[in-house]
Chains A and B, each alone.
Chain A
Amino acid sequence: MKKTSTQTSSICIIGNNAKAAAGAMALTHFGLSVTFYALSKSANEHIKRYQFDKTLCNQWQKSLDEGSLSYQVLDNFLLTQPSFDIYWVFLDQLTDCLQEEVLKYIEPQTCDVCLSGIVQIGRIESISKRLNTENVFYIPFVFLNEASVFLATIKPRLLLIGEKAENTAMKNLVCKTFMDSTSNFHLHTLKTIEFTRSCMMNLMASKLSLINELARLADHCSVDMLEVETLLKQDDRLGVGFLKAGWGYGGSTLPKETKILKKHLLGLNLSANIVDEVEYINSDQKELIFRKLWQYFDSHVANKSVMIWGAGYKEGTGRTKGSAIHAVLPLLWGHNAITTIYDPLAKNELSEEYNSDRRLNFANSPYENLEHIDAIIIINWSEEYRPDISVINKSQTPIFDAKNLLSKEEIQQLEGHYTGIGRGIG
């Protein structure tokens, strides 16, 4: 529930990613005012990047209209050096140089400093030591799930806060606001929270990659991983998330977590075999669906028309960073296949990413021209409705489901070929 606040501290947020925008919007949602510094030229231009997250965009517009959000270009911060009671700095997607300039400015002040971001374990503690203030807090975004980043932020499932000095978070307006919004919060030292964040994310990545490795066996054993997933979820020792086989994980959080953990381990001459293998499986998993298509057509992929459903790295997003689309598209193009993509959310980002490559075609409907399509690859599905099997059956187009989107019942209704990731068929 939204709260009203009689704000006592001025809040400045510095960050250039969705998490920073979501953090700011959560605060305005709770009735606080914030000044937001990012790299985009204007507030409108900045929020365009997250247009797929409708609740975030709505809150952004509302905050601008109400005056609780003031958007500034980061250059202005460095030029004018404004003074705030609380600085919340999102380190991700700020260059080392920018981070350094911002921290150098904050360093001598007696303000409160909140930090967020995925950095090597120990980096947050090291930053806190150089800051004059004792009121330094680390708020990792460990609570995100498949839903909107904004919705996840206003009601965190699990809130971890690292403190430089014990029992100080409750006195910080930002920390207190989030602690008031969940009963599941935990305070600890900065380094413990940093380490816990890394453990959580790498466990998720490892778990998912192990599931994906097992999914390859499932194909040979005529076992459906969706059914296995349902059973695995009954075992509360395993947890219910990250059990779904598919093309792996994308986005920026998990890949960055595994990458920096590996670098950290190797830097200390420690073994990084498991993380290494997790990265390998996840990378290999992204092209697995292409290989299934390759086998289906007995390596004759040239001139085949392939429809791709979805491009985002997760449902409901237009962000494609780390998505399997970036593994599949170049392979299809390299083998002279003709591709059509259906993903209204990701259309702009893909056009920008591939510089409007002439081979990049978009469809307005997932069923457009299906009678002339040789295969459908499913990377993601952000529609509110299920795919219409009866429409697909008209053309009997073979389906290569990298997301394991279709249920067993839907697969049984299909008249054409189906193959997924560890579905025991195809």
Chain B
Amino acid sequence: MPHWIETMNDPTLTPQWQKLINHSNTIPDLVTLFKNNDKRTEDFLIDFESVCFDYSKQLIDRATKKLLIEFAEQMGLKDAIDKLVSGYKVNTTENRPALHTALRLPKGASLVVDDIDITKQVHQSLDNMGVIVERLTSGLWRGYSGKAIKDIVNIGVGGSDLGPLMTCMALSEWTGEAQIIQKGLVYNSIEAHFVSNMDGTQLDKLLFTLNPETTVFIISSKSFTTSDTLSNAKTALAWLSNSHNDEKSIKRNHFIGISANTKKMDAWGIHKANQLTLWDWVGGRFSMWSSIGLSVALKLGMANFRELLAGAHLMDEHFIHTPFADNIPVMMGLLSVWNSSFLGINAQAVLPYDGRLKYFPNYLTQLEMESNGKSVNLSGQKVAFDTCPILWGEVGSNAQHAFYQLLHQGTQNVACDFIAFINRYDENRQDIDQQLLLQHKLSLANCLAQSRVLAFGNVALGSQEPCSTTSTTHKNYRGNQPSSTILIDKLSPKTLGMVLAMYEHKVYVMSVMWGINPFDQWGVEVGKVMASQLNDAIHQHTLDYDDSTNALLKRICNL
């Protein structure tokens, strides 16, 4: 066991743990908290660059904040952050670093780990990506028939899918217009598609719309053994071979591989020039910044991809160097720990009030729950408190007509993150944008309205009492649901990069406070092993399992 783990205390043994438990029993409701301090945003709001993090509607007071920061200090958070970014083996169960922050270091920065210049490796990889992006977007990359490529299909699952998919959808307005990049070559945006499902549903539907002559598949898999991904890749290969019966030519002109396992890529037949590599120290759900982000770079252009990295790096610097009280990711993480472990709020809703972030909650679901859905600490002991809350979400205005009923009048306590952008659409345009601008403002109004009603319930609507005892109980709004609002000037590659890095660091902060490893996913691995066994059972008609599984197998195998 590394020395630093031994020094990491069990959080429950710190003096602050008990103090926080005691303190949690004294926290009044949000109406009272705002009555007691009518300038809460002076204490509980952080501005950094164009990001404003307002956590004044969380169930905390000044004492809570002080105790949480002391708790972070006692848990060695500062040291843990330094270890993360300097290449220490923070992923203890797999004995490797988690260096996603290195993926966005600017050229010229220095990070040497085990005598290897990581920054140099990263920028070499980015340059390799850039070459592929330019060849595809300039029309130089040709399919087997010599036609230029119009569509790329990213085949990947989990971290190789959710991050790139979410980013491509969020930043689709940044797709570069066709422009001449050199005489005769025109920069054209390429349509990016994403396939992850093992059952082939997505691929089957998509292939009907694509032309094999002009489609390139990107097989994204860190291990290059993921069965979901490889089964989809095999179907794609069969589809292409149906049009051109020359597997060698197909693989050379229509497949790109992205993996840490070059041997497996070789074995599959990925042409050497079409291989992009990543490293063991890049975790799947933190990998969009690496060559896994190729689909993003193809959709947005390399310059915008670099802007995304620059935004993330800006947040990294903020995370590393800012005192805890003014540090957005640190405060986000501490608040989440406070809600889960001390207030018993085990649900977290993510509510972006912007349709472009449609896939953001899905992305966060993996980032947070796969990272911190753990019950064993770094010393291998079972933890005695609640860790990661159940996280879900939806675009706010849609969620209002889906699950807000539960938030306002249900029995569960749920913490919410509201996310909104102040500026959208061009105010100077005279066409439909004027109407869209009004829609945007209406959406912002809804965002503010919902966080107010969730926080203050009936009081937000003019009642003197938080919860009325009159006969109209079905119209009572209980309030007291804590939330944070992340308000950003406008969505851009840079600000999205900042937001994603912010959540990544929040997750790490939570893990440090709980003393768990956020970088492994053994719970995912177990399913893969069992699925392999049952796949054999389906093909071989063996019934060696529990009664329920055997009964289902019988029906599937028609036995």
Q: Which A residues lie at the B interface, using CB under 8 A? A: 290-295, 298-299, 326-327, 329-331, 334-335, 353-354
Contacts and interface: CB of A to CB of B under 8 A. Distances in A.
Given A299-B249, A299-B252, A299-B253, A330 B183 contact: yes
Contacts of B145: 291, 294-295
B479 to A, nearest CB: 51
B253 A331 contact: no
A290 B183 contact: no
Contacts of B252: 299
A353 B139 CA distance: 21
Q: Which of B138, B147, B183 has the most CB of A within 10 A?
A: B183
Interface in B248-271: 249, 252-253
A353 B140 contact: no
B257 to A, nearest CB: 18
B184 A331 contact: yes
B182 to A, nearest CB: 7
Contacts of A353: 183
A17 to B, nearest CB: 22
A335 B140 contact: yes
B106 interface: no
B146 interface: yes
B142 interface: yes
B144 interface: yes
A334 B185 contact: yes
A341 to B, nearest CB: 14
A126 B62 CA distance: 74
B147 A291 contact: yes
Contact of B140 (A298, A329, A331): A331
Contacts of A293: 146
A140 to B, nearest CB: 30
12 contacts: A291-B142, A291-B146, A291-B147, A294-B145, A294-B146, A295-B144, A299-B144, A299-B249, A330-B182, A330-B184, A331-B139, A331-B184
Contacts of A290: 146
With most chain A CB atoms within 10 A of its CB, the pick from B144, B146, B252 is: B146
Contact of A295 (B139, B146, B182, B184): B146
Contacts of B144: 295, 299
Interface in B168-188: 182-185
A377 to B, nearest CB: 13
Nearest to B144: A299
Contacts of B253: 299
Contacts of A335: 140
Contacts of A354: 183
A291 B135 CA distance: 16
B142 A294 contact: yes
Given A291-B147, A298-B249, A299-B252, A330 B185 contact: yes
Contacts of A291: 142, 145-147
Among A292, A326, A329, A334, find the residue whose CB has the most chain B CB atoms closer than 10 A. A334
* Nearest 5 pairs of A and B residues by beta carbon: A291-B146, A330-B184, A294-B146, A334-B140, A326-B184
Contact of A326 (B142, B183, B246, B249): B183
Given A298-B249, A327-B184, A334-B140, 4 more contacts: A294-B145, A329-B184, A331-B139, A335-B140
B550 to A, nearest CB: 52
- Count class of interface residues, chain B: 10 to 19
Contacts of B146: 290-295, 299
B431 to A, nearest CB: 13
A405 to B, nearest CB: 21
B99 to A, nearest CB: 35
Interface string B96-130: 00000000000000000000000000000000000
Nearest to A296: B146
Nearest to A330: B184
Nearest to A327: B184
Contacts of B142: 291, 294, 299
Nearest to A355: B183
A326 B252 CA distance: 27
A335 B252 CA distance: 14
B142 to A, nearest CB: 6
B148 to A, nearest CB: 8
Nearest to B147: A291
Nearest to B138: A334
Contacts of B185: 330, 334
A326 B253 CA distance: 24
Contacts of A298: 246, 249
A293 to B, nearest CB: 8
Contacts of B182: 330
Nearest to B244: A295
Contacts of B139: 331
Contacts of A327: 184
Nearest to A284: B147
A329 B252 CA distance: 23
B432 to A, nearest CB: 14
A327 B184 CA distance: 6
Nearest to A297: B146
A353 B182 CA distance: 12
B382 to A, nearest CB: 57
Nearest to A354: B183
Contacts of A334: 135, 138, 140, 185
Nearest to A326: B184
A331 to B, nearest CB: 7
A376 B514 CA distance: 70
Contacts of B183: 326, 330, 353-354
Interface string B25-48: 000000000000000000000000
A127 B185 CA distance: 37
A295 B553 CA distance: 49
B31 to A, nearest CB: 55
A294 B183 CA distance: 20
A308 B353 CA distance: 58
Interface string B131-161: 0000100111010111100000000000000
A335 B253 CA distance: 13
Contacts of A292: 146
A293 B142 CA distance: 12
A292 B145 CA distance: 8
Contacts of A326: 183-184
B254 to A, nearest CB: 11
A295 B142 CA distance: 10
Contacts of B135: 334
A367 to B, nearest CB: 27
Contacts of B140: 331, 334-335
Interface in B184-242: 184-185
Contacts of A294: 142, 145-146
Contacts of B147: 291
Contacts of A330: 182-185
Interface string B442-464: 00000000000000000000000
A334 B135 CA distance: 9
A290 B142 CA distance: 11
Contacts of A299: 142, 144, 146, 249, 252-253
Nearest to B246: A298
A290 B145 CA distance: 10
Contacts of B249: 298-299
A400 B547 CA distance: 69
A118 to B, nearest CB: 23
A294 to B, nearest CB: 3
A329 B140 CA distance: 12
Contacts of B184: 326-327, 329-331
